Structures are given as C-alpha cells and as structure tokens.
A and B are shown apart, each in its own frame.
Chain A
C-alpha cells in the first residue's frame, strides 16, 4: 500500500471529496477543542498574553512533520508526490500581512471563523461575510493584479533544498525550534501574567 492514496488512484475524485469532508470535520473539531473557536484567545496571541495559537500550531507542524518523515522513510509515503505550491515570495509576504491584519482586527482566520460560527458565535458570521466580500473584491481586481500575483516565482522550494541540509537534519532543527518556542512561550506567559498582576 502506498500513499498518497489519491495520487495512486486508490479512489477517485468523488470519493476524495467525501474524505476531504470527513477530514475537514475532524480538523474543525480539533481546532475547536484547541480553543481556536474563541476570538479572545486567537487575538491574545498577537499581544503575547496567551501563546496558545503558537503552541497548537507548532505542535501540529511537528507532529505532521515527524509522521511524514518516518512514513516516507519506511516507504509508505512518496514525499515527492505531496503537493507543494510554488513560492511567490513578495506576493505571499504581502498576502501574509493582509491576512495578519484581518486576523488581528477580526479575531479569526478564515478557518477558525467557521469553527466559531459552528459554535454559535455572532461575531464569526460577520467575519465570514467579510471574508466573502473580500473574496469578491479580490476576484474583481484580479485582472489588474495578476502580474504581481505571479511575480517572483521561486518554484517549489522546501527547507532542505533551500538550506542544502538533509531532511533528517531539518526535522531535528524544526523540533528544536518548536521546543525552544514552547519553553519561551511558557516563560513569556508567566512574565505577562506578573505584569498584569502588578498593574
């Protein structure tokens, strides 16, 4: 048996949509259980008073990375078939800034807004309307920004290629980075909590 299953035609496009739906439900559930259904927790990340977003995200990254690395090492997963989108460095940095601004203002990112809405949060529905409106504006403006959108294409870039390191080394370094970030986050939260008390 070889993964990715879809690429090896274990199932067709229709079934893949059903599987995506099931995974999506699971993903939403995990986000909600991780506390990502609350705009307060999400926005607090940007003020460094609650580092939960960083911890959850880094945990997810490290877990997936270890899984993918070892599965491909024992030959279950063909890494080269995993889809990696091209890197368009400047447009993606600009896009990241816009998304970040919306994140701080609205308190959600697109995925978490749906999670929050499913738990009945009213601000989430406003946020979703905003997302929809934004998508509409983007689509209308697309002809004018298409050149920029596809500029500075670096192709398919991965960290091992970029730094010329082995995959195992990158896995190790990212784990170190995550553990360091967890320790720093715990420490930072204690400091911020003390500050809060002294005020």
Chain B
C-alpha cells in the first residue's frame, strides 16, 4: 500500500499535462533567472565568468546547500528548524576545542564527531516536537537560544583562532585532491544522497506524504511521529557536518559562529520552490536556490555595489522570488478551471 504511494503520486502528476510542465517550468524559471543574471554580470564585470570565481562561489554556497537540504526536509513535513545556526555554533565550538587539544586526531574522526554531536542535538529537537507535541517553531526557537547559550557557557567567551588549528584540519574543506575543493564534493555527495533518499526510498516518500496530508498519511499506516522525529534528527546530523566544515573553512570558532544563518537556509529553500505549507520541494530546486543566493552575493561585490546595500538586495530578491512563485501558482489554478 505505502510502497505504491510514490508511483501513484507520479502518475497523477504526469496525467495533468499543464500542471506537469508548469512544475518543471518552476525550476526552469530559476535556471533562466540565474542564466540572465550571469550574462548581465559578465557584461559589467568580465572577471565574473572565470573558473576561479566560479570555484569561489561553489565554496561559498557548499555549507548553505548542505543545511538548506536538511531544512527542506523539515519544511516538507510542515515544520521548521530555526536552531540549525546554534547547532552549527555549538558543534563547531566543541569540535574546535577537541581539535586544538588533540592536534593528531584523524580528520575523518572530527567529521564523524561533529555529525554525532549534531545528531544528539537534533534528537533533542525531535523529542520535544514529537513526544512533547510542542509546535516546531516554538521548540526550535527555544533550542536556538538554549544551544547558543551553551556555546557561551562552554567556551566562557574564548574563541579558537587559526593558528590553534592543525593544518590537516584546515585543509579538510579547502584541499583539492580530486580537482574540486573537498567541501564542494561533500556538498555534491550530500545532495545526491538526499536526492535518492527523498525520491527512491520508502521513508523519503513518507516525508512527502506526511507533509502534504498528515491525516491521510496516518491512515495509510505511515508513522507520522517517527518521520517527523527523523527529519529533525537528520537536520541535526547535517548541521553537525556543516559545523566541522565551517570551522575548517573559516579557520576559527567563535561564540557567534553562524548566528542568523537559520534564516538564510530557509530563504534558500523557499527561493528554490519549497512550499512553506508542506509537501512540496525538490533537491534540484534547493541547490539552485542556494546557487542563486551565492551568485547574487558574489556578483553584487563584483559590480561594486556597496556591501551595505547587499543585504537589502538579497531581501528584495527573496520577496520577488516568492511573489512570482505565487503568481505562477495562481495562474496554474486558473488554467485548471
């Protein structure tokens, strides 16, 4: 019964031709937007279209893409995880302390440690939300300030500087043994895994089912609470991974590391076409959303827009993206009638 759900969903989409093309158009839309932006910026600043700059953009969006994918899974179940930034801050600080004290520690072990610590924090979120029945926005708002407070308590206000971290750890994110920086490869790997998980596993399809109609999902035998718990656990796990990469990339761990990052991850998801009311979202869309945010940030610098106006431009862009998305959807409803 549940195993058939994915095919059932897909055929119903494929049957309605207009709907299907418009959904594809939504990703084509953001691709087109990126394409136009790239051409426009290249005309103003030719240095934009160089391999170095492109690599720079990819480096900048890798962490965002990883956490935005986790955020996407949470949003698909009609939830939200505001605590990702504090989880990155706390795990990053703990890993940095351990690495400073034990410089000989294998790099792979630090990655695993970060993911394990993040999983514990994600489990805590998941338990409050599922067993405690606290609305996700309240629960993660609470843990946002709890985890951030723990960063201060943990470090007592000290921070870890670049010279205190071993070289092997710092090259974890930036080394290029396989041509591209490791961090970019890790992000691609995460995207591929999440893609297969969401589209080709039963649990992945259950996530969509829980988000698009929680009651119906429960009647078909899906354990709603377990799925909800799982997405917050994954969110913690990927935030833990992102934390290790963050400390390695910026070569420091501070008490305010990643503060405010949670809203960027939500923005990347929403710009990438993930519906805040649940049930809708694609990996490709979210990766493109993160890429768009990265390109905008990069190009605003290249065409010499004052850094002070960049945040405003980003905010305006998010608004334009969601308004145009709504416009497309309302057009779609009209063609349906």
Q: A and B: partners?
A: no
Interface residues of A (CB under 8 A from B): none
